[in-house]
């Protein structure tokens, strides 16, 4: 009797049992994956909005507090990582204000302009979104729209 129970323990799974498990996993995946498929784009949009709304503006405000002005368009966001050598040269630069050069969730650099066209007394900060074409307003993420949405 002892020998039979040890043979059963060593027997393993039959091919039918393995096929049933694979079918169950495939069925569950077929139900769950479509629900999660659109979430990655949504998560990228949220991450990019957070950069445009909070992370980069915080670094720009610190830069402005230290120096009395924002980086120029030519200096760009690189001025938050290393002290600019072009005018206006910040005399009280206490950076780096960011750990690394900011890129959007699609791996592209943010567009920065100071003074801004859409926010003339401030700066324009934007991402081209999923579609890398400029002015594709459906997916572009821009600080002048994000700020307007936040006020509502």
d(CA 142, CA 45): 11
Average pLDDT, consecutive stretches of 10 residues, N- to C-terminus, the chain (152 residues): 56 77 80 67 87 92 94 96 95 93 94 86 88 72 69 50
Largest CA distance in the chain: 91
pLDDT at 21: 85
Q: How many CB atoms lie within 10 A of CB 76?
A: 18
d(CA 53, CA 46): 10
H-type helices in the chain, by residue range?
2-10, 15-37, 39-50, 56-67, 143-151
CATH superfamily ID and name for 41-151: Glycoprotein, Type 4 Pilin (3.30.700.10)
Q: What is the pLDDT of residues 16-60, one digit of tens each?
A: 778 888 888 878 777 666 666 667 778 888 899 999 999 999 999
């Amino acid at each position: 009797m002892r020998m039979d129970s040890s043979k059963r323990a060593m027997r393993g799974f039959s091919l039918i049992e393995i096929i049933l498990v694979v079918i169950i996993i495939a069925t569950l995946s077929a139900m769950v994956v479509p629900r999660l498929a659109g979430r990655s784009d949504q998560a990228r949009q949220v991450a990019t909005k957070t950069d445009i709304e909070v992370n980069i503006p915080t670094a720009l405000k610190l830069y402005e507090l230290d120096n009395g002005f924002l980086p120029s368009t030519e200096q760009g966001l690189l001025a938050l990582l290393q002290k600019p050598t072009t005018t206006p040269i910040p005399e009280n630069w206490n950076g780096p204000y960011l750990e690394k050069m900011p890129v959007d969730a699609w791996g592209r650099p943010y567009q920065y302009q100071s003074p801004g066209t859409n926010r003339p007394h401030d700066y324009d900060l934007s991402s081209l979104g999923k579609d890398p074409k400029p002015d594709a307003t459906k997916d572009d993420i821009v600080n002048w729209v994000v700020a307007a949405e936040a006020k509502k």
